[in-house]
Structures are given as structure tokens and as C-alpha cells.
Chain A
Amino acid sequence: MRRLVLLLALALAVPAAAQWGGRPWHQLTPEEQQRAWQNYQRYQQLPQQRQQMLERRYRQFQALPPQEQQRLRQNYDAYRGLDPGQKRQFDEKYHRWKSGRPR
């Protein structure tokens, strides 16, 4: 019975994942599954408006060419690697840059 439920869940999840783009759950590594699960629980705490914004960003990200996705991942790794002081300065620069950016 349990196996049947699991198969049914997978059968439903695979087309849904294809619709969103990206790999289905069972193709994630155990580490990625753990990270996704933790982030999912955090996501559940967010206001609905914020959740929708993140879903929009995810669709935008999925629509980017693979090289661009790779570039953004590298940039995120660099951003994550900043120490707290560097991060604070980067965020200040971000606000400065953003206020001067043509819209």
C-alpha cells in the first residue's frame, strides 16, 4: 500500500516538476533534498505575496540560458563567501547602485 502511494506521488510529481522546469525530487542528491526540505519549511513561513515573488523569480531563472544560470550560481557563491563586514558593504553598494540604476 505504502509503495503504491509512493509510486502515485512520484507519478504526479514528475509531470508537475516538468511543468515548473528543473529536476524532479528523486533526481536530487540527498544533500539537495535536505536543503530543499529545510528551505521549503522556511518558505512556508513567508507571506503569500513573498512566496509568489519567489515563484516568479524561479520561473525567470529557469528561462535563462544554462551559461547565465551558471554565472548567477557562481555570483551567489561569491556573495555567500563574503564575510559579514564585506556583506554589509556590498548591501550598501547595492542600494547605492540600485538608486542610480535607470529603470
Chain B
Amino acid sequence: MRCGRAQKLLTAAVDGELSPGRRAALDRHLAGCPVCRAERAATQSVLDALDALPMVAAVPAALEQATLRRVRVLAAEEAERTARSGWRAWLPLPALAVTAVLVLAIAITRTADDRIPTSGARSPERIARAHPAQSHPNSAVAVAPPAEPPPALAAAPELFVDLPMLRNLDKVKHFEAIRTTTLDDETPSGEEAPSNG
């Protein structure tokens, strides 16, 4: 097996979705290929981290533009003031940087406040309690959905509602058969465990 082929199979391998034959072929390749082994570790960590992704507040483009406009206006005002008072020529750069950071921080804070309702059924905390397994505990900021969802989300919203189930579809389809499968170190149900004495 070549590296290109192996790397195409890595995601499926990490999710345990390869046939035993392909799995064995991939394992043989990985045993002799450090590059693909590293790639597998990276894929594994990405998928593991997927459920643990913190919810980061996205800054809307309009806010970003408004903030930059404000910074430009402040910069122009600062430049004008500097021209009038020569001895303060060293001041503008740090002052501008501090102003820009403050404006951006205030704007983000205000946006986050606007987007998280303070009461009612859409409270993120309330949703997190209602769906404990689907809201990660590390989701410090659960951003409310936008009024206008992105096209992909609007096109198939239930795909995203059911995403965790779809990810485990094979397990869910054969849940009972899997549950009644016995492992080597497990006593089949209804039989007593062998005694050591």
C-alpha cells in the first residue's frame, strides 16, 4: 500500500470503519511508515478533539468592519492631535494599539451579550442541561444560532441536529446485536462467572 492510499483510509480507520482486510493492510503499511503513523496520530487527535471543541464567539464581518473604521477614525484624530503637540510625538503608536484593543474587546463583549438571551428557552445553560451528551462541558460560550443560518445549515438542518447519531450510525443500527456480543474475558449473560477457587 502506498502512502496516498493509506492516508485516504486513515479517517475511516480511526473510526473503526475499515474491513478487517483493509485494516490489516493499513496496519502493515503503518508499521513501516513513520510519516503515515504521524498522520494517523494527527487524525486521531483531530477526531478526538472534535467533540471537545470549545464554542468560540465568531466576530461578525459587519462588526469587524465597523471596528476597523472606528480605529481608522481614531488614528486620524490621533495624528491630527500629534501634529498640534510635537512633544507628544512618541505617544500615538501605543495609544492607538491600546485603543484598538479596547474598542475590539468592548465590541465583542457587547455582541456576545446581544447574542446570548438572558432568559427563556434559548438560554445556552438551559440547553446544555437539556442535552448533556451533546453539549460539551468545555463549551464555555455557547453562541446562539444566527437568525439567518448559513446555506449549508439551512439546506439540511436535521443533518446537523442528528450529526452525533449519524456519526455512530453503524453502532446504532446494530445496537442489540453488538450489545449481546461477548468478549473473550466476559461471561455470556445467564452463566455464572468461573470461580478461581
| Interfacial residues, chain A to chain B (CB-CB below 8 A) | 5-6, 9, 12-13, 16-17, 19-25, 28, 30-43, 45-47, 49-50, 53-55, 57-58, 60-62, 72-73, 75-76, 78-80, 89-99, 103
Chain B residues lying within 8 Å of A61, measured Cβ to Cβ, are 162, 166, 169
Instruction: Report whether B8 and A90 are in contact in the complex, using a CB–CB cutoff of 8 Å.
Output: no
B127 within 8 A of A: yes
Option from B11, B46, B149 in Cβ contact (under 8 Å) with A13? B149
> A96 — which chain B residues lie within 8 A by C-beta?
181, 183
Count of A-B contacts judged by CB separation below 8 Å: 179
CB of B148 within 8 A of CB of A80, answer no
Complex CA–CA separation, A16 to B69 (angstroms): 37
In the bound complex, how far is the Cα of B15 from the Cα of A98, in angstroms? 12
The reply to whether A25 and B135 contact each other, CB–CB distance below 8 Å, is: no
- Smallest CB separation, A19 vs chain B (Å): 7
Known: A34-B127, A75-B175, A79-B168. A43 touches B121 (CB 8 A): no
* 3 smallest beta-carbon distances between A and B, as pairs: A22-B158, A13-B154, A37-B145
Partner of B183, one of A31, A78, A92: A92
The complex places the Cα of A39 from the Cα of B145 at a distance, in Å, of: 11
Given contacts A43-B160, A73-B165, contact A19 B155 (CB under 8 A): yes
What does DSSP make chain A's interface, helix, strand, loop or mixed?
helix
Cβ of B131 < 8 Å from any Cβ of A? Answer: yes
**Candidate in A5, A16, A24, A58 with the most chain B CB atoms within 10 angstroms:** A58
> Which residues of chain B in 50-100 are interfacial with respect to chain A, using CB atoms and an 8 Å cutoff?
50-51, 53, 55
For A81, the closest partner residue in chain B by CB is B133
Tell me the smallest distance from the CB of B135 to a CB of chain A, in Å. 7
Contacts of A9 on B, CB cut-off 8 Å? 148-149, 154
Check B19 for interface membership: any CB of A closer than 8 A: yes
> A25–B171 Cα gap in the complex (Å)?
28
Given A43-B160, A99-B20: A36 touches B153 (CB 8 Å cut-off): yes
Main secondary structure of the interface of B (DSSP, over half): helix
Is A42 a contact partner of B50 (Cβ separation < 8 A)? yes
B132-166 CB mask vs A (1 if < 8 Å, else 0) is 01110001001111111111111111111111111
List residues of chain B with CB within 8 A of the CB of A17.
154-157
Q: If the complex has contacts A28-B161, A41-B55, are A33 and B145 also in contact, measured as CB distance less than 8 A?
A: yes
Chain A residues contacting B133 (CB-CB under 8 Å) are 80
In the assembled complex, B35 has its CB within 8 A of some CB on chain A: no
Contact (Cβ within 8 A) B173 A5: no
User: Which of B11, B151, B153 is most buried by chain A, counting CB atoms within 10 A of its CB?
Assistant: B153
